[in-house]
Amino acid sequence: MAVERTLSIIKPDATRRNLTGKINAVFEDNGLRIVAQKRAQLSPAQAGAFYAVHMERPFYGDLVSFMTSGPVVIQVLEGENAVAKNREVMGATDPKKADAGTIRAQFAESIEANSVHGSDSAENAANEIRFFFAETEILP
């Protein structure tokens, strides 16, 4: 297995409830190292561009509103098989369907306010990391 990087976002529902540390502990306990991290307020243009793949979906407008409703914590996670490992520890999109112990099962409020984002492929991870970070901001 190769050491990989993936992009993670702790979403506004989780920053509002002061859950950043608890979520970071789940990453670290599962072998994911936080090699870059910043708190940010996304603009509608940034959130819209980040989620552009969902532009045609009925939930796109709500998703952009939600992602700009408060601060997010944007992170690069590094570890063996990081993309798949992070998707595993996040759990299913809908917290009702997420396995026990996953971040979304423990913390998500709804299918939309589901506490975390994680890249879904190595290729998307590289693009999403580039969207938010300069290489010099990533410190393994």
33 is in an annotated binding site: no
Collapsing DSSP to helix, strand or coil, 3 comes out as strand
Q: What backbone torsions phi and psi does residue 22 show, to the nearest 5 degrees? A: -65, -40
Q: Residue 63's binding partner, choosing from Mg ion, ligand RTP, none, with beta-carbon cut-off 5 to 8 A by kind? A: ligand RTP
Active site residue 117: yes
Q: Which is nearer to ligand RTP, 20 or 120 (CB)?
A: 120
Q: How far is the CB of 136 from ligand RTP (least distance, A)?
A: 26
Cβ distance 38 to 104 under 8 Å? no
Q: Which is nearer to ligand RTP, 48 or 118 (CB)?
A: 118
Q: Which of the following is catalytic: 6, 15, 90, 117?
A: 117
Rounded Cα–Cα distance for residues 23 and 133 (Å): 21
Q: Residue 112's binding partner, choosing from Mg ion, ligand RTP, none, with beta-carbon cut-off 5 to 8 A by kind? A: ligand RTP
Q: Where are the beta strands (DSSP E) in 11-47?
A: 33-40
Q: List residues binding ligand RTP (CB under 6 A).
A: 54, 59, 63, 93, 111-112, 114, 117-118, 120
Q: Taking phi first (over 0 means left), then psi (-120 to 50 degrees means alpha), and beta for anything else, what does residue 36 get?
A: beta
Q: List residues with catalytic annotation.
A: 117
